[in-house]
Structure 1
Amino acid sequence: MTTSSEKSYFDLHITGLGYLNRIREVKPKKGDAFLACDIAALNGPSDKPEYRRFDVRVSGSEAQHLIRRCVPAVEAERKVLIGFRLGDLWTDIFTYSKGKRVGEQSVSLKARLLFVSWIKVDGQLVYKAEPKASEESARDEAPSVSSEPAVQDAPASETVSDDEAAEVPALAESF
């Protein structure tokens, strides 16, 4: 009998699209500083979407690089829409310390931002991730399975077409 010391995990991922807000460096009392942001994810019918707010920790060097590149656009209050994959969803109960709801408790949805599949600034596609070799071979074997369901489910005005994506080789320098 062979024993393995390798740990296995059950992954729970959330894919979608949403507006990027509040990009910030968080410096906790204990532990290392980290990059965080809010995502107002679109949910429901495309003609009347609702928003689900996620407070996320940006994980991985590629995602951090991409989110940092969005700081000037977000600070200029431009509409920054991203395709994303989140992991490790959890909730945090907090108490409002100011404003109309001071003293009230509420819940915050927290997660790790694992992957950014595309970025649009004011409706203009500025970044599209290159598919990985394993994703390309999986797509060739099973063409009916989409590797980016969030883009397919996007409202017509926010959908990234293959032709549009092919024109954008990498992160544009314009934003």
Structure 2
Amino acid sequence: MTTASNNAPTTYFNLHTQGIGYLNRVREVPVRRGQPFMACDIAALHGASDDVEYTRFDCKVSSGEAERLIREHLEDVRAERKVLIAFRIGDLWVDPFLYEKGERKGQPGASLKGRLIFIEWIKVDGQFSYRAPARTDSPAAIDAAAESDQADTVAEQHQPASAPARNSTAARQSA
């Protein structure tokens, strides 16, 4: 990061997390002072292809294009269709909390939060419904596309009976 005087722009380093996961719990979050915002959970796939694990991210939808796409697929999520997305999250952070109910009452927990900034593609029940325009501005984009196709195939082979969804409130109360 560089910060210079004399009105020179500040430069930042970006830390992005990208992956493939199931879209869950799409909601509009009211704010006391200010505009409400859209949020969602993503159950991201990771681990060995024959033993897939999930990590849940609670995301604020931060780009106009991502918000438009999430809104277009809101009914699919509500209808409990399997909505699989290739995503990019920025500004990942941990939100610690204490369980308020259930077996874990009083115990600490944590939620991974971030900003959903890009959606590369969306599949609903295994069928493509959206693909972002191809980026050909770098060799890394070509490699990422090939890797994404391979990961997509693995994800389709390991779809759970129902996409894993964890309502953080329910998780805190029942876990």
Same fold by TM-score, threshold 0.5 exceeded? yes
Match of residue 95 from structure 2: 92
Match of residue 145 from structure 1: 143
- Pairing 1:73-84 to 2, within 5 Å after superposition: 73-84=76-87
Q: CA RMSD in A?
A: 2.3
| Alpha-carbon distance between aligned partners in 1 of 2:18 and 2:121, rounded to the nearest angstrom | 12
| Alpha-carbon distance between aligned partners in 1 of 2:146 and 2:9, rounded to the nearest angstrom | 30
- Residues 148 and 96 of structure 1: CA distance in aligned 2, closer, same or farther (over 3 Å): farther
Instruction: Please state if 1:57 is matched with 2:60.
Output: yes
Instruction: Please state if 1:126 is matched with 2:129.
Output: yes
Deviations 1:90-131 (A, max 9, x none): 010112233443332200000000000000111111111112
Moved more, 58-67 or 142-151: 142-151
Q: Which of 154, 158, 161 lines up with 1:156 in the alignment?
A: 154
User: How much does 1:70 deviate?
Assistant: 1.2
User: How much does 1:48 deviate?
Assistant: 1.1
User: How much does 1:138 deviate?
Assistant: 2.1
- The residue type paired with residue 111 of structure 1 is G
> Could you state the TM-score of these two structures normalised by the residue count of structure 1?
0.78
8 Å CA contact 1:19–1:39 kept in 2: the answer is yes
User: How much does 1:148 deviate?
Assistant: 6.5
| Alpha-carbon distance between aligned partners in 2 of 1:119 and 1:95, rounded to the nearest angstrom | 34
8 Å CA contact 1:17–1:151 kept in 2: the answer is no
Gaps of at least 5 residues in structure 2 are: 158-175
| Alpha-carbon distance between aligned partners in 2 of 1:130 and 1:40, rounded to the nearest angstrom | 24
| Alpha-carbon distance between aligned partners in 2 of 1:83 and 1:29, rounded to the nearest angstrom | 32
8 Å CA contact 2:45–2:155 kept in 1: the answer is no
8 Å CA contact 1:118–1:125 kept in 2: the answer is yes
User: How much does 1:33 deviate?
Assistant: 1.1
- Residues 103 and 23 of structure 1: CA distance in aligned 2, closer, same or farther (over 3 Å): same
User: How much does 1:57 deviate?
Assistant: 0.3
8 Å CA contact 2:92–2:113 kept in 1: the answer is yes
Match of residue 32 from structure 1: 35
Gaps of at least 5 residues in structure 1 are: 160-175
Identity of aligned residues (%): 50
Equivalent residue of 1:153, what SS? helix
Match of residue 22 from structure 1: 25
Aligned residues: 153
